[in-house]
A and B are shown apart, each in its own frame.
Chain A
Amino acid sequence: AQSVAQPEDQVNVAEGNPLTVKCTYSVSGNPYLFWYVQYPNRGLQFLLKYITGDNLVKGSYGFEAEFNKSQTSFHLKKPSALVSDSALYFCAVRVPGYSSASKIIFGSGTRLSIRP
């Protein structure tokens, strides 16, 4: 079955330290991958996406993500965490080869907590 996994429900990082939020996927073909962030009582906001090309994608607020085809991963990273980065992060994958919105699959989310 095609799926997206975010193996950590919560990630805790001290401010100023690097952070990683993990995402792995299981789809056939070449997927399109996305990261979204959700702040409290708000809708999801787009951070970055990988469609094709350079495996390292840079996005909003200093975040970046690396597409690793061999490990089927798309981990979100930031070199130096800020308290304001504390939020819920969702990985999503668009399953290739389908002309249907139902083939956009979201992970279960990872809550990122940055302590001062």
Chain B
Amino acid sequence: NAGVTQTPKFRVLKTGQSMTLLCAQDMNHEYMYWYRQDPGMGLRLIHYSVGEGTTAKGEVPDGYNVSRLKKQNFLLGLESAAPSQTSVYFCASSPRLAGYTDTQYFGPGTRLTVL
């Protein structure tokens, strides 16, 4: 049971380049989330998904797209990277949505630098 895994762990992009971050979970969780972590700002929700084939915007969705074609995978895409997207990105999953009272399980993070 690997939990939540993220690929890649590190990436350096040039402004304007595109990339996709992959998140995978093997816990059969319905809900998955993408956050970004910036110094002094805690975690901010980018997008989330309540099930296969569904996605929704979070607090800071601009410049990002997501897809959930399979229940176990949640992809985060940057179409045209900007320096403001330099951050650490965390994926998380949780077993159910009701009241969002369930614990979130986090991946190890992807450190992205945009030059």
Nearest CB of A to B11, in Å: 15
- A32 is contacted by which of B59, B92, B100 (Cβ under 8 Å)? B100
| Smallest CB separation, B39 vs chain A (Å) | 9
CA of A69 to CA of B50, assembled, Å: 31
Inter-subunit contact A104/B45 (CB<8 Å): yes
B58→A102 contact, CB < 8 A: yes
The one of A42, A49, A102 that contacts B59, using a Cβ cutoff of 8 Å: A102
User: Chain B, 45-67, contact with A by CB distance < 8 Å: what is the 0/1 string?
Assistant: 10010100000111100000000
Q: Please report which residues of chain B, range 27-45, place their CB below 8 angstroms from some CB of chain A when the two chains form the complex.
A: 31, 33, 35, 40-45
Asked if residues A104 and B100 are in contact (CB atoms below 8 Å), the reply is yes
Q: Are A101 and B33 in contact (CB under 8 A)?
A: yes
Q: Interface range on chain A: under 10, 10 to 19, 20 to 34, or 35 or more?
A: 20 to 34
Chain B residue total in the interface (Cβ 8 A)? 29
State A91–B44 Cα separation when bound (angstroms): 13
Q: A108 is contacted by which of B40, B50, B103 (Cβ under 8 Å)?
A: B40
Cβ–Cβ < 8 Å partners of B90 in chain A: 43-44
Partner of B58, one of A36, A99, A101: A101
Pairs A–B under 8 Å by Cβ, sample size 28: A4-B42, A32-B99, A32-B100, A32-B101, A41-B109, A42-B109, A43-B92, A43-B106, A43-B108, A44-B43, A44-B104, A46-B105, A49-B101, A90-B42, A94-B100, A99-B97, A100-B56, A101-B31, A101-B33, A101-B45, A101-B100, A102-B58, A103-B100, A106-B35, A106-B42, A108-B41, A109-B40, A109-B42
| Chain B residues close to A by CB (< 8 Å) | 4, 31, 33, 35, 40-45, 48, 50, 56-59, 90, 92, 97, 99-101, 103-109
Given A32-B101, A41-B108, A96-B99, output 9 extra A-B contacts at Cβ < 8 Å. Answer: A32-B99, A34-B103, A42-B109, A45-B106, A46-B104, A99-B97, A101-B48, A102-B56, A108-B41
